[in-house]
Structure 1
C-alpha cells in the first residue's frame, strides 16, 4: 500500500451512518454529514498472524 493511499471508512465511528466525505483538513480526515462530526483515521500497522504468536519462556 502506498503511503498516500486513502483507506475509505464505510461508517461513521460516532453515529454509524454512511454519509461520509473526505475532509479538507488533510490525509485521513473525514466528515460525517449526518451527525456533523469530523474525525481522522490512521493505520498504525499490521498485527502478526495468531499462529506466529509464541509465549515468552517463564
Structure 2
C-alpha cells in the first residue's frame, strides 16, 4: 500500500468534538464534519520512539 492510499481515521472533529465524520476526496485524505461543516485532514509525521514505553535507545554507534 502506498503512502498516498493511507488514511488516518480521526475519532472526532478537532474543531467541534463531534463524531459525525465522512471521508472526502479533496483535499486528499480529507474528512468532512457534518456537524460544523469543516473539512480537515490528519497526518502523522513520526513516532517519537524515545518516549515509547519499553524502548531501549540505540547506542551512539548503532542505527535505529
When the two structures are superposed, what TM-score results if normalisation uses the length of structure 1? 0.71
RMSD of aligned alpha carbons: 1.8
2:22 is aligned to 21
Unaligned stretches of 5+ residues in structure 1 = 53-58
Unaligned stretches of 5+ residues in structure 2 = 58-64
Provide the rounded CA distance (Å) in 1 between the counterparts of 2:6 and 2:40.
18
Aligned length: 52
When the two structures are superposed, what TM-score results if normalisation uses the length of structure 2? 0.66
Deviates more, 1:22-31 or 1:38-47: 22-31
1:56 is aligned to none
The 5 Å alignment of 1:33-44 reads 33-44=34-45
Provide the rounded CA distance (Å) in 1 between the counterparts of 2:48 and 2:26.
28
- Larger helix proportion, structure 1 or 2? 2
